[in-house]
Amino acid sequence: MLHIPGLYIAHTDKRGRGVFTAEIIEAKDIIEVCPLIMIPKDQLATIHQTVLHDYYFLWPTDEGKACMALGYGSIYNHDFEPNAEVIFDLNTTEIVIQSLKTIDVGDEITIDYTGGVRESTRLWFEVK
C-alpha cells in the first residue's frame, strides 16, 4: 500500500469511521494506491450476508466480480460531491484514490460510491 503521509482514520458524527488528512492535498494528487483482494463472481453472493457488504467494490471489467481494497481503501466514505475519486487500474489490479480538488488539513476524504451516476443508483444506506 502506498499513500501520502498524514492520512488517518477518525470518527465522524454521521458516518462512523472515515479517512482524514493531516496535510494539505492538492488537486489531482494521488492519495493512495490500494492493493486488492479479488472476490470471484461465484463468491460475491456470500459477501452480502456479512459485515463486509459495506466495504467492497464491484470490478468494472468483469460482470459480477468484486474486490476488497486494502489499506484505507474500503474506509473512504461516500459523498455525492466528493473531494476524491476512485480509479481502477486494470493493469496492476489496484485502486487509486486521487484528489479532485484541494483538501484541507483535518478534512475528511470522500468518494462517490455511485461512480457519478447517482440518479440511477440506489445506495444501501441513507445519505446524510
What backbone phi and psi angles, to 5 degrees, belong to 14? Answer: -105, -20
- How confident is the model over 105-110, as a mean pLDDT? 97
pTM of the model: 0.85
Distance CA 102, CA 90 (A): 26
Question: Which residues, 6+ apart, have CB-to-CB distance to 95 below 8 Å?
Answer: 33, 34, 36, 57, 67, 69, 73, 86, 87, 88, 89
What backbone phi and psi angles, to 5 degrees, belong to 103? Answer: -120, 120
Closest CA to 1 of 64, 51, 74: 74
Q: So what's the pLDDT on residue 120?
A: 46
Q: So what's the pLDDT on residue 49?
A: 86
Report the percentage of the chain scoring pLDDT > 70.
Answer: 88
Grid cell at residue 100: 479532485
Distance CA 128, CA 74 (A): 19
Identify the band that residue 125 occupies on the pLDDT scale cut at 50, 70 and 90.
very low
Out of 2.170.270.10, 2.40.30.10, 3.40.190.170, 2.30.30.90, which CATH number does the structure's domain 2-114 have? 2.170.270.10
CA dihedral 95, 16, 122, 91 (to 10 degrees): 0
